[in-house]
Amino acid sequence: MDRLIVTGGARLSGRVRAAGSKNAVLPIMAAALLADGEVVLRNVPDLRDVATLALILEQLGVVIHRDGDVLRLRADREGPCEAPYDLVSTMRASVCVLGPLVARRGHAQVSMPGGCVFGVRPVDQHLKGLNALGAGIRVEGGYLLSDVGRRLHGAHVFVGTRFGPSVLATANTLMAAVLAEGTTRLENAAMEPEVLELTDALIAMGARIHGRGGHTLEIEGVACLHGAEITIGGDRIEAGTFLVGGAMTGGDVTVDGIDPGHLTALRETLGAMGAKVTSGSDWMRAEGPARLEATDIATLPFPGFPTDLQAQVMTAMSVARGISVVTERIFPDRFMHVAELLRLGALIRKEGPQAIVEGAARLSGATVMASDLRASAALVLAGLVAEGETEIRRVYHIDRGYERIDARIRDLGGQVRREAQPRLEQSRKQW
Between residues 43 and 390, which has the closer beta carbon with respect to ligand UD1?
43
Q: For ligand UD1, which residue of 56, 93, 270, 355 counts as binding (CB under 6 A)?
A: 93
Contact between 122 and ligand UD1 (CB under 6 A)?
A: yes
Contact 16, 408 (CB under 8 A): yes
Using a 10 angstrom Cβ sphere, with 0-12 exposed, 13-18 middle and 19 or more buried, the burial of residue 162 is exposed
What gap in Å lies between CA 218 and CA 140, rounded to an integer? Answer: 32
Q: For ligand UD1, which residue of 17, 74, 121, 393 counts as binding (CB under 6 A)?
A: 121
Question: Which range, of 166-174, 211-219, 363-371, 414-422, touches ligand UD1 by CB under 6 A?
Answer: 166-174
Contact between 236 and ligand UD1 (CB under 6 A)?
A: no
User: Of 405, 374, 281, 305, which Cα lies nearest the Cα of 12?
Assistant: 405
Contact 4, 380 (CB under 8 A): yes
Query: Catalytic annotation on 96?
Result: no
Contact between 29 and ligand UD1 (CB under 6 A)?
A: no
Helix, strand, or coil (residue 308)? helix
Contact 286, 270 (CB under 8 A): yes
Identify the bridge partners of residue 167 per DSSP, sorted by sequence position.
Answer: none
Between residues 329 and 408, which has the closer beta carbon with respect to ligand UD1?
329
Least distance to ligand UD1, CB of residue 15, Å: 26
Contact between 168 and ligand UD1 (CB under 6 A)?
A: yes
Helix, strand, or coil (residue 294)? coil
DSSP H stretches of helix in 205-280? 236-248, 264-272
Least distance to ligand UD1, CB of residue 375, Å: 12
Contact between 169 and ligand UD1 (CB under 6 A)?
A: yes
- Count of beta carbons in the 10 Å neighbourhood of residue 158: 15
Question: Which range, of 119-127, 199-207, 246-254, 340-348, touches ligand UD1 by CB under 6 A?
Answer: 119-127
Least distance to ligand UD1, CB of residue 335, Å: 13
Least distance to ligand UD1, CB of residue 381, Å: 18
Contact 16, 254 (CB under 8 A): yes
Contact positions with ligand UD1 (CB under 6 A) in 200-229: none
Contact between 297 and ligand UD1 (CB under 6 A)?
A: no
Identify the bridge partners of residue 277 per DSSP, sorted by sequence position.
Answer: 286
Beta strands in 29-137 (DSSP E): 39-42, 63-67, 70-74, 82-83, 108-111
Contact between 118 and ligand UD1 (CB under 6 A)?
A: no
Contact between 330 and ligand UD1 (CB under 6 A)?
A: yes
* Omega within 30 of 0 (cis) for the link into 332: no
Q: For ligand UD1, which residue of 177, 194, 279, 370 counts as binding (CB under 6 A)?
A: 194
What gap in Å lies between CA 158 and CA 216, rounded to an integer? Answer: 9
Using a 10 angstrom Cβ sphere, with 0-12 exposed, 13-18 middle and 19 or more buried, the burial of residue 130 is buried
- Count of beta carbons in the 10 Å neighbourhood of residue 335: 24
Which is catalytic among the residues 81, 96, 116, 224?
Answer: 116
Q: For ligand UD1, which residue of 242, 331, 335, 402 counts as binding (CB under 6 A)?
A: 331
Contact between 312 and ligand UD1 (CB under 6 A)?
A: no
Q: For ligand UD1, which residue of 8, 11, 23, 355 counts as binding (CB under 6 A)?
A: 23
Contact between 163 and ligand UD1 (CB under 6 A)?
A: yes
Contact between 123 and ligand UD1 (CB under 6 A)?
A: yes
Least distance to ligand UD1, CB of residue 341, Å: 19
Contact between 308 and ligand UD1 (CB under 6 A)?
A: yes
Contact 99, 171 (CB under 8 A): yes
Residues binding ligand UD1 (CB under 6 A): 23, 26, 92-93, 119, 121-126, 161, 163, 166-169, 194, 307-308, 330-331
Cite the active site residues. Answer: 116
